[in-house]
A and B are shown apart, each in its own frame.
Chain A
Amino acid sequence: MGANSALEHAPSVTTPMDPWLVQVDAYAVNATLAIVAVATLLFLAHLVARKDVFRTAGNFAMGLGAVASLVALVSRYVYMIRIDPHFFPMSNLFESIMFMVFSVLVIYLVVERKFRPAGFGLVSAGLVATVMSLASLLPDRLRDATPLVPALQSYWLKIHVTLMMISYAVFFVSFVAAVLYLFFHYRDRFFSPKAVGAAAANTLKAPITTLELLDELTYRMILLGFPLLAFGIITGGLWANHAWGTYWSWDPKETWALITWLVYAAYLHVRVTREWRGAKTAWFAVAGFISVIVTYLGVNYLAEGLHTYGKLL
């Protein structure tokens, strides 16, 4: 028993659906995990054998993975809109993870084409495979497609949640770049300090090092994610104002989204000051992504609010 409110999430119930599309959805989800796991192995092979063919194959696998995750989302959308015309494949934790994985894979392919950073494929594929594996362990009530409660029946849902998830995906990629930066930075520091000293003495017009590339990639990703996140938070506010008259109520999820935005704003300002360069800014980027994880998943365990949709316990 408990209190009632328009804002509470109703318990999930499986509703009868078109069996063929359900199969397609399930296969596509499993295929995504399998393909990305294979990509990880291919990138590992590239690391060991140093043959370009492995990297190309890995990238091809990542592309296939993007297609598979898209198929999963589209099939889910098609069979659910017959039951609920307002449906959008991001109404629970699992669906939002699938969308984020799709976005990450697309961004990966674009970045790989333009930048080709060292180790990028391996870390990206590895992390995506990890995320997919954890997602497959989610309980049914967070996976099943469910019709929307009244508060979610709005076109704003599509805009707000999509923007937030895309921004998370972009920050995910910035996190990969930052992690790679830190790896190479500390590896060089501990294993070849003399080379580091020599590199520092180079003039600015020396060829661009891996570290510089990763630093710029992290920066560029955050420059992209920052407006997306701002837009996501703002559309959340616009929607809240339209639905119940308050554009900001210091709800834990709203607040953490703002905290994430503030951490990335601090990152951007830190880059302006000369003194904090290199590894320190990379750590800032890592801190920003931790904030993203808290915003996305952690708030479901904190004080109750409008957004406690995906509690795992």
Chain B
Amino acid sequence: MPTETEVAAEISGPAAYDRIRTSFVRFWSSVKLAVVLILAIAIASTIGTIVPQGEPSGVTNIEGMSERTKQILLSIKAYNVYYSPWFLSLLALFFLNLAVCTYVRVWPRLQFALTRPREIPVAARDHMPEQQDLSGAAVEDVATELRRARFRVFPASDGGLVADKNRVFRFAPMVVHLGLFLILAGGITAGLMGFKNSFPLVPGEAMGVEQAMKEAKTRGLLTPKPADFKVRLDKFWMTHYDDGRVKQFYSTLSVLRGDKVAHTQTIHVNEPLEYEGVYFYQSFWGIAAQKLSVARGIKSEIPMNNQGGTSIKLSGWVTSRLALGGRELFAYTSGISRPWYLLDMQSLKSLGELHTDEDLAVAGHKLRLGEVKTLPGLGSVKLRIGGETRTVPVESANRFKLSGYISRQLKVGEFKVFLYVESPDAELQVIDLDSFASLAKVPLGASAKVEGVDIAFLDRGHSAETGGLAAVDLIQDGERIGLRVIDLASTGFRVQAPSTETTEVGGRAVIMMQNTEPPGMPLWIIDAHDATALAILNPGESQKIGHSTVRWDGPIYFSGLQTKSDPGIPVIYAGFFIVILGTLMGMFSHQQVWVTIDANGCRLAGKAARGRYLFHQDMTRLRQRVLDASSKGNKQWAQTPLSSTHRA
């Protein structure tokens, strides 16, 4: 195939050659450059799939990466790659390359397409990749078969034929490039003239479009002012599958102009509302507030303001796990005389409260709370320091927001220290008073050296008060099951869920948390000071908190809407369509054929743009058909069987 420069020179003359020769054009019309730029964009795009996009914390939070690498990533804006200046510049260079390539090639190609297929010298035909011997064939039969194969056939000056097929598909790349430019134009239009925002609505609440546009994070410089209307949520509901998972969620929206309802529509995921060029999509949902009733029927709605979730390290005690009905369960309590809750280990769903006097039905079994064994509290510890035996009193460390026990300061050698015990049966820790560094950990009956001074932990002295929980019995179907109890102070048990702010209930400061998935999650009411869960309620259940009895009446849901306006859409959609058209066009091959007449009959030479093999199969079939047609024709005149002449 002749190169573009040769074609241009032949068709347009030296002027075109000069144009191409200009080095700027020559560089920017290079296909090799295009390959380099395409691959560069591809590789650059991979960055955004590995580094979480959005905030710089996406880079800084990556584990196991050196600080230097992180600094490099931050400087190239790896957390927002696709809108970073260097990536956009790369795209700009690509489109420049695309524009120059297309400009240089489109005119010669048009001229090539609009003129007749060229005749080429016989010598050149011998070098064509496809050759067929059509001895004994009449040129008219060849012409007929070529036309039947949908070739455009023209007589050649030497009496033969020149034909081609699928010429228009040579434009496939141009079409694709045009489509890409439309997509670019559409994208720029969207960026300049569109906006996007999302917001929650509770039933009855309305949002004005103008306000949504003003508050939008993505808004173009030339975005036109939208029409003056509001969208109000009338109703929100969800449907569920049999196993409780959400099937679909729906919102009934009313469009308000002034005070009048202009339009009402129910939307759900994948079915948006469109009004005056602005779209509203059902995008997400959540819990807006919790409904509580206190004694004397006082109802309140506590808003769930922390949708992102609060994380609390829970205090209290949990039991070891209990396997029941195919699930793993455990029990939790916030204090020694506080209620016990039975929870699912995986989902943290509450199966109810455990009582000593009534049964809780779980998976066909009956569970009851048995004996709760406490640890005696710690009143003092007996030590031998140096050679001297001493009894050191300890008190509860609660007022320092720690669990366990703590002593007053002691002198060990030159050091001022104090003693700390995490729980009544834990080892003794010797802690430096100034630096709070742990100087030694001494189990009961052992000893350790602190700066040359020998400290031996001899004995514990118990106090009258209880120190904590040791074990608890559950009674399952009449049988006693002993469970160990673990103080949450010594393990990290974090709960995280959307929550309220700290509010006052029954005189205590609490935070309420509820998760939305899996369905049917309980409401956790957690003491804001000591992080114990005072209540884990299923809807309708009550619990005494502080001086009130509180009943949870369930959540109030909000509907999450996404709104946007995008005038670039028609342009982009046109671009999409044209790109697909162009890529489909690329599947078809431009085929060229030259038929020469010689002494024996005809000879066919040709080539195809997309490869030899299938073209060869087509031409072989064509040859067979030509020879069949010619032999039928020849039968009429074959008086002398040895003759293989034909009409010219």
Binding site for B on A (CB under 8 A): 1-8, 10-11, 13, 15, 84, 114-115, 147, 149-151, 153-154, 156, 203-205, 208, 212-213, 215-217, 219-220, 223-224, 226-227, 230-231, 234, 237-238, 241-247, 250, 252, 255-256, 258-259, 262-263, 265-266, 268-270, 272-273, 291, 299, 302-304
Contacts and interface: CB of A to CB of B under 8 A. Distances in A.
A208 B612 contact: yes
A20 B376 CA distance: 63
A268 B369 CA distance: 73
A6 to B, nearest CB: 5
B560 interface: yes
Contacts of A215: 611
Contacts of A241: 569
Query: Which 9 residue pairs of A and B lie closest in terms of their CB atoms, listed nearest first?
Result: A227-B583, A216-B611, A4-B516, A252-B49, A150-B269, A245-B564, A262-B42, A154-B270, A204-B129
Most chain A C-beta atoms within 10 Å of own C-beta, residue among B31, B270, B515, B613: B270
A263 B42 contact: yes
A6 B269 contact: yes
B632 to A, nearest CB: 29
B576 A255 contact: no
A245 B34 contact: no
20 contacts: A1-B309, A2-B517, A6-B284, A11-B245, A147-B247, A150-B270, A151-B270, A204-B127, A205-B130, A215-B611, A226-B586, A227-B583, A238-B573, A245-B563, A245-B564, A250-B82, A263-B39, A263-B42, A302-B49, A302-B50
A303 B50 contact: yes
Contacts of B243: 13, 15
Nearest to A156: B270
B392 to A, nearest CB: 42
A144 B228 CA distance: 49
Contacts of B564: 245-246
A208 B613 contact: yes
A217 B497 CA distance: 55
Interface in B280-312: 281-286, 307-309
A174 B46 CA distance: 23
A3 B270 contact: no
A250 B48 contact: yes
Contacts of A10: 245-246, 517
Contacts of B283: 6, 244
Contact of B42 (A149, A244, A266, A273): A266
A1 B496 contact: yes
B362 interface: no
Interface string B569-595: 100110010011001101100000000
A277 to B, nearest CB: 12
A219 B617 CA distance: 17
B569 to A, nearest CB: 7
B613 A115 contact: yes
B613 A212 contact: yes
Interface in B195-254: 196, 241-243, 245-249
A291 B38 CA distance: 14
A117 to B, nearest CB: 10
Contacts of A220: 610-611, 614
A258 B39 CA distance: 11
A223 B173 CA distance: 12
B82 A223 contact: no
B76 interface: no
Given A2-B515, A205-B127, A227-B587, 17 more contacts: A1-B495, A1-B497, A4-B285, A11-B518, A150-B248, A153-B270, A156-B270, A205-B128, A208-B613, A227-B580, A230-B580, A237-B576, A238-B573, A244-B281, A263-B42, A266-B38, A304-B52
